Amino acid sequence: MNIAVIDYQGGNVQSVLFALERLGMNATLTSDPDVIRGADRVLFPGEGEASSAMRALRAAGLDKVLPTLTQPFLGICLGMQLLGRHSQEGPAGGTELLGMLPFDVVRFTPPDAAHKVPHMGWNNLHDLKTPLFAGLHEPVEVSAQSDSNQVLAPSLLPTAADYVYFVHSYYAPVGDYTIAQTSYPAGVPFSAGVRYRNFYGLQFHVEKSGPVGERILHNFLTGDLG
């Protein structure tokens, strides 16, 4: 399999490359549009700040390339947020993003001093949709859904093991594009996973989320995502 990991000087690429190695996969770290277009799967990792990341993408011409891709594409952490339309992060007025998914990124507003930003730690996922999350939960007997944009069939119940690792101050609200949810400790629900067509995004660090993250990454690389 030909896997491209996008290099725009703003991603936590080494952790992602190590995670791929643990799965027995090799990847090309690249900013070359032709290599990215020719890949079977594209990974878009990210750490840092939205406005500087967008400057780097524009400088490399990737802001024009990425929205045109048709193969399965996965944005991770900041890489997920950059798929949206606009972020409150950045200079006054925020930052215009890639516009590949119909959400705006907003900052957590803690209700008191006991609730910290950034949100950091392990959260359970729920309301999972699409085969990206196949195998994470124990099945129960319900009717099947054939559309990959619907809840996995058979429907799934969470287990204590299905925790993933988050580090972020900004988030995408829950919407029609949401394929996984969790909550900020103050009870604010947000999108842990998003999807529109071939574009997927995960707010958590899939590469740092242990066996659960490895299962999700394996599903992305080898599964039939619809």
Amino acid of residue 190: F
Place of tokens 């907003």: 106
The active-site residue out of 47, 49, 77, 138 is 77
141 catalytic? Reply is no
Whether residue 86 contacts residue 105, with contact meaning beta carbons closer than 8 Å, is answered with yes
- As a whole number of angstroms, the distance between CA 59 and CA 177 comes to 29
Catalytic residue among 49, 207, 214, 218: 207
Q: Cα torsion for 148, 223, 218, 211, to the nearest 10°?
A: 50
Q: Is 49 a catalytic residue?
A: no
Q: Is 207 a catalytic residue?
A: yes
- Determine which one of 119, 137, 168, 205 is catalytic: 205
CA distance 216 to 193: 11
Q: Are 4 and 36 in contact (CB under 8 A)?
A: yes
The CA-based dihedral angle spanning residues 27, 32, 37, 41, taken in that order and rounded to the nearest 10 degrees: 20
Residue with tokens 């944005």: 75
Return phi, psi of residue 158, to 5°.
-70, 150
Q: Please identify every residue annotated as catalytic.
A: 77, 205, 207
